[in-house]
Amino acid sequence: MIARPYQTRLVEKAEVALNRHGNTLAVAATGAGKTLMLAWLAARIEGQKLIVQHRQELVEQNLTKYRKVNPGHRVSLFTADVKSWRGDAVFAMAQTLAKNLERIPHLGLIVVDEAHHIAAATWARIIEAAKEKNPGVMVAGFTATPERGDKKSLRGTFNNVCDSVTIRELVRLGFLVAPKAFVIDVQGTQSKLNELGSQSDYFDQAEVEKILNTVAINDEIIRHWRERAAGRRTIVFCSTVQHAQDVAKAFQGSGVPAACVYGSMGTHERQDVLIRFNRGQIQVLTNVMVLTEGFDSPATSCVVLLRKCSNKGPLIQMVGRGLRTVNPEENPGVVKKDCVVLDFGTSLLTHGDLSMDGALREEVEREHSEAQTKICPEASGGCGAEIPQQVRTCPLCGYVFETKGEDAVTHVELTELEILDASPFRYIDLFDSGKAMMASGFDAWAAVFSLDGENWHALGKVKAENVVHQVQIGDRIQALAAADDFLRENETDSAAKKTKRWLNEPATLKQIKLLSRFGYDMPTDVLGQSGWTKYQAACHANFQFSRRLIEGALGVSR
């Protein structure tokens, strides 16, 4: 398996920071692949590793991906049901560890998933107990949203941030879809919400409900949803449980399949609702803050905000539920190019559209800054931590840096050529049309095709299998990113050097004869050379050998 370029960058910076400081925090937006990155990082550090999570589903998710990245490592569990320290890497529940601190062995590395929780006393006791056994134990944290609602600093555990992978970077690279945001004022709700001041982000907002939960406003919400997002699978974040239930009933009353999930709901009942939502049997799913972490439904392409976000972290968590790209094999018939965000409150006005200047500037600063890090200034109220140069708000303490030249950046785009340049594989334009691009490795190939120039299909095939996988349907950059991911997942570094000498060697006589049988016009010179490279011929041969499967996946016939 081959890491994406930014994943390699983050892991390398994290390793350097751990060796230098003994700790580091990595900030990576939802969809960046933090589970894979923590697995790659753990493999670079000596000694036994402890990976700590706060929810059982995260334990299972992290363990599965760790095994995929590090198949030779022994893994074990330390949870309520199973307690073993026999693995090279131990995956543990924080709640269980906190009750068994005396059993923590000599560790080389602790990896904390969803590390914004580490400011809580439970986590502090775990770190302290591990340091009693080994004062030199390293601590690495991964989170998408370091900002906590209670404003507690993470500085007590981390004195540096090794890297920050933003939503904007992932959208530009095609690994997330772009948020398409609308701020909607219904019957003066914005001014009324502004009068409330700050609200708790993670609990019921009774005062917000009084403003937003009326029959008239719910009718308007549904009307605006029909105008901008009808047919999209939608998650609605409400202010209270009663609000969430009322909004679900309003959608149901208008003929839209809808349901509500909430914290005190029975586990089996909630799982049944989530399964039906993932299957598309429920189109609109309401909740309060149940679905902000650990819930992934890539087919979701609309997020509705009916609560007040006093901090940016919860806003990013909520919008992030709709930004993942879609695998067509897991979600047949779903085509997703963007995510509509309907904000009936003031969150986007307060914190800014996630696709606008703030995020854009971070990417420009990453590209043009000579210094890679800076210090959060203690003299101005900061925490003194070492953080990435491009970050505008300190992930550890929340200090906001002044920016210069606010109007200097207006637009940033990553071109398709830059996407292809970032790939470790070489893509061949099969028919000089730009609508059929293929790259090949030793064990697999991947390609993007478009029949209409608008919808792009990413396809991939493992050579040992007799099936072509539909990896994604979206815009061109998303399809290229998905195709590249397929090759990264099924190839190794040895197959991915697009500068290798053999890629530029002339096509062999055997390849020329083979392609001639497929109808290619391949005249040769006196030396028997066609002007084609060996790699170019291999890509065309792979296409022809799989042509029927490709056409079947695209829904066309010869």
**Percentage of residues of the chain with pLDDT beyond 90:** 48
Confidence (pTM): 0.80
**Percentage of residues of the chain with pLDDT beyond 70:** 88
Least confident of 23-32, 89-98, 322-331, 402-411: 402-411
Alpha-carbon torsion, ordered 110, 115, 120, 126, to 10 deg: -10
pLDDT of residue 310: 61
The string of pLDDT tens digits covering residues 165-180 is 988 888 888 899 988 8
> Which tokens sit at 242?
């009663």
pLDDT at 360 over 60: no
Q: Which helix (H) or strand (E) holds 444?
A: strand 444-450
Q: Is 126 helix (H, G, I), strand (E, B) or coil?
A: helix
Question: Could you say which of 3.40.190.10, 3.30.70.20, 1.20.210.10, 3.40.50.300 is the CATH number of the domain covering 178-354?
Answer: 3.40.50.300
Q: Is 434 helix (H, G, I), strand (E, B) or coil?
A: coil
The string of pLDDT tens digits covering residues 500-549 is 777 788 888 899 899 999 999 877 765 667 678 889 999 999 999 999 99
CATH topology for 5-170 is Rossmann fold (3.40.50)
Neighbours of 256 (CB within 10 A): 17
CB-based contacts of 154, cutoff 8 Å, min separation 6 = 25, 115, 116, 118, 119, 141, 146, 148, 395, 396, 397
CB-based contacts of 19, cutoff 8 Å, min separation 6 = none
pLDDT: which is higher, 117 or 456:
456
Domain chopping of the chain, boundaries: 5-170, 178-354, 416-554
User: Are the beta carbons of 445 and 431 closer than 8 angstroms?
Assistant: no
249 DSSP assignment? H
Report which residue type is found at 469: H
pLDDT at 100 over 80: yes
Q: Which helix (H) or strand (E) holds 20?
A: helix 5-21
pLDDT at 204 over 80: no
- Exposure string (b/e) for 111-141, b if CB count within 10 Å is 16 or more? bbbbbbbbbeeebeebbebbbeebeebbbbb
The string of pLDDT tens digits covering residues 215-246 is 999 999 999 999 999 999 999 999 999 999 99
In a 10 Å sphere around its CB, with 0-12 CB exposed, 13-18 middle and 19+ buried, how is residue 319 labelled?
A: buried
User: Are the beta carbons of 205 and 240 closer than 8 angstroms?
Assistant: yes
Note whether 5-170 and 178-354 share their fold. yes
Least confident of 136-140, 217-221, 253-257, 393-397: 393-397
pLDDT of residue 184: 86
pLDDT at 297 over 50: yes
User: Are the beta carbons of 390 and 368 closer than 8 angstroms?
Assistant: no
